[in-house]
Structure 1
Amino acid sequence: MTQTPAPHTHLEDAQAFVLGTAMCALGVTMLTHLGLVTGQTAGLAVLLSYATGLSFGIVFFAVNLPFYWLAWVKMGPRFTIKSFVCVAAVSVMAEMFPRWIVFDQLDPVLGALLIGAVIGLGLIVLFRHGASLGGIGVLALLLQEKTGFRAGYTQLIFDLCLFAAAFAVIAPRLVLFSLGGAVVANLIIATNHRPDRYTGR
């Protein structure tokens, strides 16, 4: 007989939010150091920050604001509040980490793959505790819940459109490196966050 898993406690959620957001912020720190982009709303924020010169943290927080209404209506207040907290945490950490972490050498190809892995794992931690980093992640989780279409695949489609736009902002080789990292991130999510397996409560 299959037992229903117990919901996460507040303490378990808290440690997961710290870990997941820190991993994503670390990925963004490596990403911006190399001048690469990533997928989802974070990628859109990175691209806009490159194009405008504005801070990633501020842009990332701002571009997520329109999605909170959708999250509140479709996913509920608990999910929305958790996601808001996680977006705010990544925004702050992404501003602070470059002051504490300096890369003397980071190969762009290896860096892109590591960035994809770190961000992908960070997102899984958040997803499994009922949160996201807002934006396209909200849409992706909603589609997975309603249709079974995997969240990672929805994000991958969005990413392809985002990377097409990136060719107008950064060098083509950097776009290709970034695309490799995004594929890694989304495959990790698609493989490990599935409606027929553990998705968290």
Structure 2
Amino acid sequence: MTAFQRLILRANDSRSRAANAITLRSLITLFEGCLLVALGVRLLQAGGLLVSGTAGMSLLGSDLTGLSFGSLFFLINLPFYGLAWKQLGLNFTLRTLGCVSLLSVLTDLLAVSLPLGDVNLPVVAIAAGLLIGLGVTLLFRENASLGGLNILALDLERRFAIHAGRTTFAFDLLLIALAALVYPWPQVICSALAFATLSFVLGRYHRRTPQGSDASTTAQDDGKQVQAAH
């Protein structure tokens, strides 16, 4: 079961009051998650690398069109909010909309305020994968996400029994193939390294939710893990 699918189980549990409560701690954690992802995206921009999902689409589109990452990321995610509302409810959708909007602003601000010179591509790929993976993990634990293809993959799985993991993997392969047409091979290989690092971090640090367990207890345990991660 993927990290995103475990989030679905918890978000759909009617007992998950802790995951739906809007608290100062939740807002701070969501901001921390978005900031970590924004820093990771800034590193990717400096190295001309990609990462999986709609963030990768936005990075590629930014290089091809000259539009900012933040603008493209916000626009690309717009079609997915209807699916998010249908699959996960209004609370999750509003949190995701807020996180996508915040990330769009933060990435554009960092692009101006954090100039970076020549960078080592493998180091940038690993560091960006770690930052984005940890940031997304924090968002998942607060019943939010950065929208995009995970929601579409879930919808296809429920409608047509197409495994969500296969859908996201197929899209990542397509994105790497497109990158091979645009970027030099060192950047393509290091982009694949960023993909792998992100996937490893999500698999390692996103807490598995045991079936049949109390979701509120799980959310409290997640909170303790987040504090320990700091």
Q: What does the per-residue CA deviation read over 1:87-146, in whole Å, with 9 as the maximum and x for residues that have no partner?
A: 00010001001222222442111111110000000000001111110101324567899x
Greater helix content: 2
Say whether 1:82 aligns with 2:91.
Answer: no
Task: Name the structure 2 match of 1:185.
Answer: 198
Provide the secondary structure at the position in 1 that maps to 2:182. coil
Of residues 210, 221, 225, the one that matches 1:196 is 210
TM-score, normalised relative to structure 2: 0.76
Task: Name the structure 2 match of 1:122.
Answer: 135
Say whether 1:51 aligns with 2:64.
Answer: yes
Q: What does the per-residue CA deviation read over 1:25-58, in whole Å, with 9 as the maximum and x for residues that have no partner?
A: 1111111111111111100111111111111111
TM-score, normalised relative to structure 1: 0.86
Task: Name the structure 2 match of 1:64.
Answer: 77
Post-superposition, which runs of at least 4 consecutive aligned residues in structure 1 deviate over 6 A? 141-145
CA distance in structure 2 between the aligned counterparts of 1:158 and 1:122, rounded to whole angstroms: 21
Aligned sequence identity (%):
34
Say whether 1:7 aligns with 2:18.
Answer: yes
Task: Name the structure 1 match of 2:144.
Answer: 131
Q: Please, which runs of 5 or more residues in structure 1 have no aligned partner? A: none
CA distance in structure 2 between the aligned counterparts of 1:104 and 1:74, rounded to whole angstroms: 42
Q: RMSD of aligned C-alpha atoms? A: 2.8
Aligned residues: 196
Mark the CA change 1:66 to 1:20 in structure 2 (over 3 Å): closer, same or farther.
Answer: same
Structure 1 range deviating more: 92-101 or 115-124: 92-101
Say whether 1:97 aligns with 2:110.
Answer: yes
Mark the CA change 1:178 to 1:192 in structure 2 (over 3 Å): closer, same or farther.
Answer: same
Mark the CA change 1:196 to 1:76 in structure 2 (over 3 Å): closer, same or farther.
Answer: same
CA distance in structure 2 between the aligned counterparts of 1:74 and 1:115, rounded to whole angstroms: 29
Structure ID, larger Rg = 2
Q: What does the per-residue CA deviation read over 1:141-168, in whole Å, with 9 as the maximum and x for residues that have no partner?
A: 67899x9x787x7644432221111111
Partner amino acid for 1:25?
A
Say whether 1:29 aligns with 2:42.
Answer: yes
Partner amino acid for 1:7?
A
Q: Which residues in structure 2 correspond to 1:135-174 (within 5 Å)?
A: 135-139=148-152, 155-174=168-187
Q: Please, which runs of 5 or more residues in structure 2 have no aligned partner? A: 1-14, 212-217, 224-230
Structure 1 range deviating more: 102-111 or 176-185: 102-111
Report if aligned partners of 2:96, 2:145 keep a CA contact under 8 Å in 1: yes
